[in-house]
Amino acid sequence: MAGTTGAAAAGARQLTLALIKPDVAAHPHRVETILRIMRTNGFEVLQRKRLRVPRELAETFYGEHREKFFFPRLTNFITSNDLEALVLARPEAISVWRALLGPTKVHRTRITNPGTLRGLFGLSDTRNVGHGSDSPEAARREIGLFFPELDYDQLWEAAQKPAAPTSS
């Protein structure tokens, strides 16, 4: 299986799913700021789409939290308005994207990690700017949920080729 264990090889680029949640996606200038931060940190955006998440997808995506008290809050929020879904690539994409997002507890993050995306734009533990896959296996599953039209293995193979230079 390409991309799950092979991504740990030296120099290999990992894939991760990045979501820019509805609270931030509603503000184009914030989305552009986040995209600029992604590029500055060496990410290549392989795929991007704006979508309104259907309830069934939200419930599948957050399925591990189904029995928790906050499950309805998560699913109601992520289905409330459009969000941006992106497939990002770079070495160590998962850990780097999650570090850029910052800790999920926004009230603490504003004090301890104010320069992170959640420190800058987060409003609450639910309205916390974005999501990042937490493992290569989660990235494969989540990319499949938000980009079912893509073949993950082909996407991973394409990510291993050097990125085309971009003009700034």
- pTM value is 0.90
Angle at 107 between CA 104 and CA 108, to 5 degrees: 75
Binding-site members are 21, 70, 98, 104, 118, 128
Mind listing the domains of the chain with CATH numbers?
Answer: 11-147 (3.30.70.141)
Q: What is the DSSP pairing of strand 44-51 with strand 130-132?
A: unpaired
Please state, in angstroms and rounded to a whole number, the distance separating the CA atoms of residues 17 and 52. 16
* Three-state secondary structure call for residue 60: helix
Question: What residues are annotated to the active site?
Answer: 131
pLDDT digits (tens, 9 = 90+) for 55-110: 999 999 999 999 999 999 999 999 999 999 999 999 999 999 999 999 999 999 99
79 and 52 Cβ atoms separated by less than 8 Å: yes
- For residue range 25-68, what is the model confidence (pLDDT) as tens digits? 999 999 999 999 999 999 999 999 999 999 999 999 999 999 99
Identify the pLDDT of residue 8.
52
Binding residue positions for ATP? 21, 70, 98, 104, 118, 128
Q: 88: which strand partners? A: 16, 45
